[in-house]
Amino acid sequence: AQKITQTQPGMFVQEKEAVTLDCTYDTSDPSYGLFWYKQPSSGEMIFLIYQGSYDQQNATEGRYSLNFQKARKSANLVISASQLGDSAMYFCAMREGKGSSNTGKLIFGQGTTLQVKP
Amino acid sequence: GAGVSQTPSNKVTEKGKYVELRCDPISGHTALYWYRQSLGQGPEFLIYFQGTGAADDSGLPNDRFFAVRPEGSVSTLKIQRTERGDSAVYLCASSATDRGRDTQYFGPGTRLTVL
């Protein structure tokens, strides 16, 4: 069973508008972490934002925010005021817990390609 | 400071040959991870090290793949008897520890092409 699902293979957004990239996950572990990465055409994976399963508030990092809905097992990335440089592939990833902490490997979704139009 | 570096950036080899891919993590990072990314897909976990030991090698596809990190810093991913299906981008990442919210920082990857 797929643990991370990104249902939008491709998205378009107008420059300066906001866009939401969807991510749902599947885990039975109460402790986990959710990450979003950006991968431009150059290929390097760039960390954007992190949400822990026990975090009380939704994570924010500059123009990035995470809409975390624990009961629905969704962790959507919201990018505000889109810029041309935001055009890239975006990956949602999960790190599962072992007991009281989450450790180790990341499990990635299939990714969403975002194109920002001028 | 310096990020994660990987060498070579590109490697072309023939089917059946042996290859080594090198990863130099961020200084002081104790956890090091290897992933493989096929075209249009998300990265797939291969193996990770905490210090010198392999903490989880559950992602290695078969016994042709092996990785070492003898001094707890640089790591080498070794692939024996390469097959065309091994062609992919091999990504290395490191993090301060392997716990909690510690971010994994990725290198630029090695693009392996098996002819």
The alpha carbon of residue A24 and the mean position of all alpha carbons in its chain are separated, in whole angstroms, by 9
Shortest alpha-carbon distance between residue B106 and chain A (Å): 6
For B49-75, what is the mean pLDDT?
93
Nearest residue of B to residue A6, measured between CA atoms? B42
Kindly state whether B57 is in contact with chain A, defined as any CB-CB distance less than 8 angstroms: no
Cα(A33)–Cα(A28) distance, integer angstroms: 13
For B64-83, what is the mean pLDDT?
96
Burial string for A45-81 (b: 16+ CB within 10 Å, else e) reads bebbbbbbbeeeeebeeeebbbbbeeeebbbbbbbee
Put simply, the answer to whether A50 touches B105 (Cβ < 8 Å) is: no
Q: What is the pLDDT of residues B6-27, one digit of tens each?
A: 999 999 999 999 999 999 999 9
Distances (CA, A) of B67 to A80, B13, B36, B43, B60: 41, 19, 13, 17, 9
Cα(A16)–Cα(B88) distance, integer angstroms: 35
Question: Mean pLDDT for chain B?
Answer: 94
